Structure 1
Amino acid sequence: MSGRDNYGGDIFSGHAGARRRAVPEVTADRDLVVEDAASGFCGAVVGFDRSYDGEFVKLEDRRGAVRLFALREAAFLLDGEPVTLVRPAAAPPAAATRSASGSTRVDGLRARVARGSRIWVEGVHDAALVERVWGHDLRVEGVVVEHLEGLDNLAARLAEFAPGPGRRVGVLVDHLITGTKEDRLTQGLGPYVLVTGHPYVDVWEAVKPSALGIREWPRVPRGEDWKTGICTRLRWGSPQDGWRRVQAGVNSFRDLESPLIGAVERLIDFVTEPE
């Protein structure tokens, strides 16, 4: 009898000759050539499929025949060695290539020194909507947007700013219609000032109703505070509550009416035009 004890030791540790060799996992990248261990079918990975009984890989042989094989452990041979194929991880979503204004997004943008030129708007809501849609473009160009706190302050602000070469001013005006007060206040301001605007009573109205889930903007009689009247008729609560709705409804230039879009684009072109 041999001195070797084949039955000794800890029976729970498993027999050394029975231990399974670890089978490596290989990512089933497209065009990887493998062999199905059971059938001997050899082909390149061309896709995947999923059904109620699991994941499958599509293999195409050199004659163009395509067959499905289950992604089971050690089911394939790669260079003659058993492997377990695993499906590639899903690619991360592509980064946005367009900004909210529709322009090409600049990745890794670093802050640029502000230009001497400026864009002025009438109030904080105008400034917020311009930033929401054109903020990326303005940072790329180094353009600062400031609010006038009312068009009546325009003349004094221009006198203080002193527009000139390299110090242009673009002014965005609400309700800019021929013959109105706004029209009279923006005449004859010189070659270094450009005034553009939209015909709406307030910049809120330059937001498309569809972006806010309403059919149309209600009509508010002359003499009644416009924002208060709008919020009352739409049951939006206070003007502060209404503004939160308006701001949240704007995600890109597609949510704005074309007169406002055109007005802002012209101002950006004007203040960034080389002298």
Structure 2
Amino acid sequence: MADRYGNDVLSGDWRKPKNGRTVEVAMEKGMVVEEPTSGFVGAIVRWEHGVVDLEDRHGQVRTYPTGPGFWLDGKPVSLQPPKKAGPAKKTRTASGSVAVDNVRARVARASRIYVEGRHDAELVEKVWGDDLRIEGVVVEYLGGIDDLPEIVNRFQPAPGRRLGVLVDHLVEGSKESKIAAQIDNRYVRIVGHPFIDVWEAIKPATVGIKAWPRIPHGQDWKKGVLQSFGWPATDQADVAAAWQHMLSKVKNFSDLDPSLLGRVEELIDFVTLD
């Protein structure tokens, strides 16, 4: 005789939560999780003595006990210290995006992102490199933007050939803002951060200082910074060595000022539009 009521509803694991049971996950810096009680979402920046610090995209840091009570990619997890035997699997890129395994880099688009200098390009690559390769976006540096109008004309922006430009010190009344105002093309997006140099976009604590120093107008800014630190500052080799030291301290988006994060992501979105 057929069972018109079907299978026994209690024969399976009827107590299993809708979103699955909590699983243990090894913490790693840059992993983005949610504390559902407060709704706070942030990247793991440090952990010790049974607590973990999360930092959101606005730079706000909150501390929670490690263990259960978190969400990762919509699933409940228990945050645990990583095992010493080996690193935890990377779940996020340095920019906070979901890491994608075994995906080939996309063939480069005709669209481009231009930044002012080598240091800007290296910092963007350090944090957004994985995202850029998946999207097929190439970042190039200009060595300054004094000739930006001519550079844009040579690039010939058009549908499928967009140009995004990241400018240092893009504030009202600056030389950079006046140059940017000369560009009027729907396939060009010019954005910038308020800092004199991209070095300042790195959070001071990341490089072990309380604040970036104020350098008098007219003095070479980078060499002035190094002198204030008591570091060698006689030539460009000193500047290059100092930059590589600072760049090595940047691990992911949480080490950068939010004003830079939003601008770079805006450009990536713009140049990848169909």
TM-score normalised by L of structure 2: 0.65
- SS in structure 2 at match of 1:125: helix
1:145-179: CA deviations, max 9, x gaps? 01111111212211111001000000000000011
2:158 pairs, out of 136, 150, 164, with 164
- Pick closer, same or farther for the CA change 1:245–1:93 going to 2, 3 Å: closer
Q: Distance in 1 between matches of 2:170 and 2:246?
A: 21
TM superposition shift of 1:93: 4.7
Which residue of the other structure, out of 144, 168, 178, is the alignment partner of 2:138? 144
Q: What residue is the counterpart of 1:95 in the other structure?
A: 89
User: Which of 255-264 and 185-194 deviates more?
Assistant: 185-194
Whether the 8 Å CA contact 2:105–2:135 is kept in 1: the answer is: no
Residue 213 to residue 91, structure 1, CA distance change in 2 (3 Å): closer
The question of whether the paired residues in 1 share the 8 Å contact of 2:222 and 2:239 is answered with: yes
Deviation for aligned residue 1:138: 0.2
Q: 212, 216, 219: which one pairs with 2:211?
A: 216
Q: Is the 8 A contact 2:203 2:255 kept in 1?
A: yes
Find the counterpart in structure 1 of residue 223 from structure 2.
228
2:123 matches 1:132: no
Distance 1:174 1:258 in 2: 15
Work out whether 1:198 is the aligned partner of 2:193: yes
* Structure 2 unmatched runs, 5+: 1-83, 233-237
Query: Contact 2:168–2:196 at 8 Å: present in 1 too?
Result: yes
SS at match of 2:140: strand
Shift of the alpha carbon at 1:189?
2.6
What runs of 5+ residues in structure 1 fail to find an aligned partner?
1-89
Name the CA distance, whole Å, in 1 between partners of 2:228 and 2:257: 21
Q: Runs in 1 of length 4+ with deviation above 2 angstroms?
A: 90-94
Counterparts of 1:120 and 1:100 in 2: how far apart (Å)? Answer: 20
**Alignment match, 1:176:** 170
Matches within 5 A, 1:1-275: 93-187=87-181, 188-237=183-232, 238-274=238-274
How many residue pairs were aligned?
Answer: 185
Classify the secondary structure of the residue corresponding to 1:194.
Answer: strand
In the superposition, relative to structure 1, how do residues 99 and 236 fare at CA in structure 2: closer, same or farther (>3 Å)? Answer: same
The two structures have a TM-score, normalised by structure 1, of 0.65
- Percentage of pairs with the same residue: 54
Aligned equivalents of 1:241, 1:142: Cα separation in 2 = 30
Letter paired with 1:261: L
- Report SS of the residue matched to 1:265: helix
Contact 2:106/2:133 (8 A) holds in 1:
yes
RMSD of aligned alpha carbons: 1.4
Deviations 1:11-32 (A, max 9, x none): xxxxxxxxxxxxxxxxxxxxxx
Task: Tell me which of the two structures has the higher relative contact order, counting C-alpha pairs closer than 8 angstroms and 6 or more residues apart.
Answer: 2
Cα displacement (A) at 1:245: 1.9
How many Å separate the matches in 1 of 2:87 and 2:211? 36
